[in-house]
Structure 1
Amino acid sequence: MKIFIYKAYDKAGAKTDGQIEAPNQAAALSELHKKGLLPAEIKEYQESVGHLFGSSKKVSLAELEFLTAELSLLLSSGVRIDKGLDIIRRSKAQPALVRLLTSVSSGISSGQSLSQAMSEHGEVFDPLYINLVELGEASGQLPEIFAKLAEDLKFRRDLQRKIISSLTYPFVILAVCILCIVFIFNFIVPKLSVLFSDPEALPWYTQALLGLSNWMQDYQLLLGFGIVGATFLVLQLFKQPKFVKVWQETLLKIPGLSSSVLTTERIRFNSALAMMLEAGLPIDKALDLAKGNIKNQTLQREMEIVRNKVKHGHSLSPSLKQTSLYPDFYISLLEVGEESGNLAKVFDEIAKRSRQEFETWTEKMTTLIEPLLILLMGGIVGGVVVVMLMSMVAVNDVGF
């Protein structure tokens, strides 16, 4: 079956759009006419191969959050899961999500449970998601489970957006700085170089500036290809497990960055752990699943050790104290939660406090990076201007 995107008018003349599944365009048109719609435009959805930031074939985090929140709302309203999936599929969902829902619906129709049908799409639904859905099916609390999952996905999307937004402005300034350098060495310096009749008699700083300008004009294309090649190489290296492991270990040793990595991982781990404990999972099982939310392999290994200790009867708080993820203040909170039997609430509180820490760190770093990059750009541009002015003054000594 193919997916066709259409724009049409209903019997009242109102505009409507959406997508429809059909074996071909003629069948899609026929189906629209049966629904009383007059098609104005219809075309088959073509999946692109991909682009720099990912592939359109994949269900995005925003789409997964939309699906989870909609399922929570529909199930809370008494709609059956198969009917709910069909409603979302026929709504204005993206084609990649439509294909996913079609596959999940087919699995349910063939006798699979929802968790089993979702488990066949591991690239979209992680083990934590699947296990919580399975728990919700067993306990009859699927709407509540989906509501908690939607909240967690919303936080992850907000975290992703904050990281991107905090890096956007510095990168824009850096790009402007690079463009200024290219413009100066390609247009400004060559025009001023005609003022000097005897380059060898010029001061060393003027010769260096003119030489750099000549080098830029001769090799800037090669330099550009080199930068693109280096970027591609780095992207390939990040697909190698050994390089990723070394990189993650290095991040934990860099002052400033290590605190942000630990805070981010603490948020992921604690929010997942709180959600699972509230759902009723035993602590060893919850630790095993929450460990998968941690991206850093070094911290993952530490949490695996904690899980094994807890499984063999050790207390949770002393075991977590031996990891890099929890400062002493959070350990004291966990000790209180362990004694009172309120661990889920404590883990949720740690996640909230860690979010505030991360937001504060992001604001500080953005505030620090922006003026540094502006100073860098001003220093380079101003340095070139000063050198050129000094060179023009020196012309009186060396002659035209």
Structure 2
Amino acid sequence: MAQYRYKGRNRRGKTVQGKLQAESEREIRLQLRDQGIMALEVKELSGALHKEISIGSGVKPQDFVIYMRQFATLLKAGITVVEATEILAEQTSSKALKKVLMQVETELRSGNPLSESCEQHPKVFPPLYINMIKAGEIGGNLDEVLDRLAFYYEKQYKLVQKVKSAITYPAAVGVVTVAVVIFLLSSVVPTFATMFESFDAELPALTQFVLAAGDVVQSYWWTIIVFVLVVIIGFKVINDNKQSRLYLHFIILKTPLFGKLLQKAELARVTRTLSSLFSSAVPVLQAMVIVEKVVKNNVIKNVIRDSRSSLEKGESLSKPMEESWVFPPLVTQMISVGESTGALDAMLDKVAEFYEDEVDTATEQLKSLIEPILIVVLAGVVGVIVMSIMIPMFKVFDAIQ
């Protein structure tokens, strides 16, 4: 986005000038016209000082969800697509989204349909959005499709937030626990170690162990940094390899407590996405391709790919799912019934609601279960260190008395 200097005349006939940012001179003139200013001169400012500085170009999920709901509401209120896009470009607080919406508005005013205008920005508008918009344009029910999309993205955002909160809490407490232990071993324990050396007595085994651990932390603190770097690099290497990533995702799904939660979240995402696509009249095979891209776990992704292959051969969608342990009988049976009755979108919607409720329940149960365990672990670790210091101190006081 470039910066332009303009000079113009407002409605009162007064000469005004200033600076604006836009993608082109045409956009500047449109902005000025909307402000009631007749542009007399528009000149692009060159040089590094006038370039827009931005870090990253992604749109936050929260901003996108808000945009979708506002867009659907404006269209239902009778506002045209062009006007709604212009309004949202002005109102959004996201600079990245504002920039994209201004470009989409320019394309729309040039006569391009919404789907083609958005398709030029794949980093912001995912394939699911584009294909459902195309279906809405063909079917003449774009407002309904956008309302369905807004509902879908709201559900997905809430689902992701709940899973993140369930995982983030124990991770944060774990990091705090490690930080407290390192601090005690590297700063507090060595202070008492000097004092204990003056005791002409054998220290308890627990105290000797903690003092030795303190020496290790002080002498080899750099190994902690190396270990963290090795774990990060190792995880990246595993994740970059297709086969090893499949094994990693399999292990994640089999992890106690968290595995079931992540499986339910993925099943909710799959069924909700399929339901939204089918109800918007997106072709089945095309819908399966989109869902395959939406799914994060490679184990489930492979089953979706097999289901698509099954459909291409004229077989049932649910057959590969029935043969996989990832999809419970509830999912496969509901899909099978939906296929036979022609109400697959409604059946998938029911399954999605069920698993979204299951994720809600699972996250609450997980928090209530993990919280006391983490508190006990943190208290236990700190308590052991404190006791290792206090026991010799008590012995000293007894000897003095």
Superposed CA offset, 1:275-307 (max 9, x none)? 122112343333332232211122212112112
Look up the match of 2:158.
Answer: 158
Structure 2 CA distance for partners of 1:208 and 1:307, relative to 1, 3 Å: same
Q: CA deviation at 1:212?
A: 1.9
Distance 1:168 1:58, change over 3 A: same
Q: Which amino acid aligns with 2:248?
A: W
Moved more, 350-359 or 109-118: 109-118
Q: How does 1:37-56 map to 2 (within 5 A)?
A: 47-49=53-55, 55=56
Are residue 58 (structure 1) and residue 46 (structure 2) matched?
Answer: no
Over 3 Å counting, the alpha-carbon distance change for 1:261 and 1:324 in structure 2 is farther
Task: Report the equivalent of 1:211.
Answer: 212
Partner in structure 1 of residue 267 of structure 2: 266
Q: Which residue of 1 aligns with 2:41?
A: none
**Match in the other structure for 1:106:** 106
Contact 2:190-2:214 at 8 Å conserved across structures: yes
Residue deviations 1:314-368, cap 9 Å, x none?
2334343223343123333333333332211110000000111112221222222
Helix, strand or coil: the match of 2:112?
Answer: coil
> In 1, distance between residues paired with 2:51 and 2:191?
52
- Cα 1:347–1:250 shift into 2, 3 Å: same
Partner Cα separation in structure 1 for residue 123 and residue 247 of structure 2: 25
Matched-pair contact (CA < 8 Å) for 1:45–1:95: no
Partner of 1:350 in structure 2?
351
| Residues 142/234 of structure 1: CA separation in 2 closer, same or farther (3 Å cut) | farther
Alignment of 1:179-258 (within 5 A): 179-193=179-193, 194-197=195-198, 201-220=202-221, 222-223=222-223, 225-226=225-226, 229-230=229-230, 232-233=232-233, 236-237=236-237, 240-242=240-242, 243-258=244-259
Match of 1:381 in 2: 382
Identity of aligned residues (%): 25
Aligned residue in 2 for 1:81 = 81
State the partner residue of 1:304. Answer: 305
Aligned to 1:11: none
Structure 2 counterpart of 1:52: none
The whole-number CA distance in structure 1 between the counterparts of 2:67 and 2:240 is 32
Question: Given residue 128 of structure 2, which amino acid in structure 1 is its aligned partner?
Answer: L
| Structure 1 residues 237 and 368, CA gap change in structure 2 (3 angstroms) | farther
Query: For the aligned residues, what is the CA RMSD?
Result: 3.4
Unaligned 5+ residue runs, structure 1?
A: 5-18, 37-42, 50-54
Question: For residue 237 of structure 1, what is the amino acid of its counterpart?
Answer: V
Q: How far off its partner does 1:87 sit?
A: 1.4
Matched residue of 1:292: which SS? helix
The alpha-carbon distance between structure 1 residues 134 and 238, as it changes in their structure 2 partners (threshold 3 A), is farther
Q: Residue deviations 1:50-80, cap 9 Å, x none?
A: xxxxx4x211112222222222222222322
Contact 1:200 1:207 in 2 (8 A): no
Counting matched residue pairs gives: 369
Q: Provide TM-score, normalisation by structure 2.
A: 0.80
Shift of 1:227: 5.3
Distance in 1 (CA, whole Å) between partners of 2:89 and 2:289 is 33
Distance across 2 between alignment mates of 1:108 and 1:378: 61
Q: Which moved more, 1:297-306 or 1:321-330?
A: 321-330
User: 1:23, 1:132 → 2: CA distance?
Assistant: 28
Report if aligned partners of 1:310, 1:319 keep a CA contact under 8 Å in 2.
no
Which residues of structure 2 form unaligned runs of 5+?
5-18, 38-48
CA displacement 1:172-198 (0-9 Å, x = unmatched): 433432343233224432332214325
Which amino acid in structure 1 is aligned with residue 156 of structure 2? R
**Aligned pair in 2 of structure 1 residues 163, 313: CA closer, same or farther (>3 Å)?**
same
> Match of 1:8?
none
Query: How far 1:47 sits from its partner (Å)?
Result: 4.5
SS in 2 for 1:21: strand
Tell me the SS of whatever aligns to 2:294.
coil
Distance 1:94 1:191, change over 3 A: same
SS of the residue corresponding to residue 125 of structure 1 reads: coil
Counterpart amino acid of residue 365 in structure 1 = L
| Contact kept in structure 1, 2:253 and 2:262, CA below 8 Å | yes
Contact 2:177 2:378 in 1 (8 A): yes
CA 69–153 in structure 1, closer or farther in 2 if over 3 Å, else same:
same
> For 1:364-393, what per-residue CA distance to the aligned partner results, in whole angstroms no more than 9, with x for missing partners?
222222122112111111112222233335
Provide the rounded CA distance (Å) in 1 between the counterparts of 2:356 and 2:3.
40
Alignment match, 2:369 = 368
Residue of structure 2 in register with 1:141 after alignment = 141
Contact preservation (8 Å) 1:270, 1:350:
yes
> Using the alignment, how far apart are the partners of 1:231 and 1:21 within structure 2?
44
* Aligned counterparts of 2:123 and 2:246: Cα–Cα separation in 1: 21
In the alignment, which residue of structure 1 is the partner of 2:10? Answer: none
**Equivalent pair of 2:92/2:98 in contact (CA under 8 Å):** no
